[in-house]
Homo-oligomer: A and B are copies of this chain.
Amino acid sequence: MEPGITIGELGEFGLIAAITASMAAAAGEVGGNLILGPGDDAAVVAAPDGRVVATTDMLIEDRHFRLEWSSAADIGHKAAARNLADVAAMGAVPTALLVCFAGPGHLPVEWVSELAAGIAGECAEAGAAVAGGDTSSAGTVLIAITALGSLGDRRPVTRSGARPGDVVAVTGTLGSAAAGLDLLTAAVHPPGTADLLAGHRRPKPPYRAGPQAAELGATSLIDVSDGLIADLGHVAAASGVRIELDTKPLAAEPIARVGALRRAADALRRPDWLRWVLTGGDDHALVATFPPEVRLPPSWTTIGTVADGRGIAVDGQTWNDQGGWEHFRSS
A interface residues, Cβ below 8 angstroms from B:
7-8, 10-13, 15, 35-36, 39-58, 60, 63-64, 86-87, 89-90, 92, 96, 98-100, 102, 105, 131-140, 142, 144, 146-149, 151, 156, 158-160, 221-223, 238, 326-330
Contact A56 B137 (CB under 8 A): no
- Cross-chain pairs A/B with CB under 8 angstroms, 29 sampled: A8-B328, A10-B328, A11-B326, A12-B326, A12-B329, A40-B158, A40-B159, A40-B160, A41-B55, A41-B90, A42-B87, A43-B53, A44-B151, A47-B51, A47-B52, A52-B52, A54-B96, A54-B98, A54-B131, A54-B146, A55-B132, A56-B132, A57-B100, A58-B136, A60-B102, A60-B137, A63-B136, A105-B330, A136-B327
Rank and list the top 6 A-B pairs by shortest CB-CB distance, nearest first.
Answer: A144-B144, A47-B47, A42-B55, A146-B146, A12-B326, A41-B89
Contact A50 B41 (CB under 8 A): no
Q: Given A35-B51, A56-B146, A58-B102, do A327 and B44 touch, yes or no (CB 8 Å)? A: no
Contact B11 A329 (CB under 8 A): yes
Contact B43 A105 (CB under 8 A): no
Note all chain B residues with C-beta closer than 8 A to A137. 60, 63, 327-328
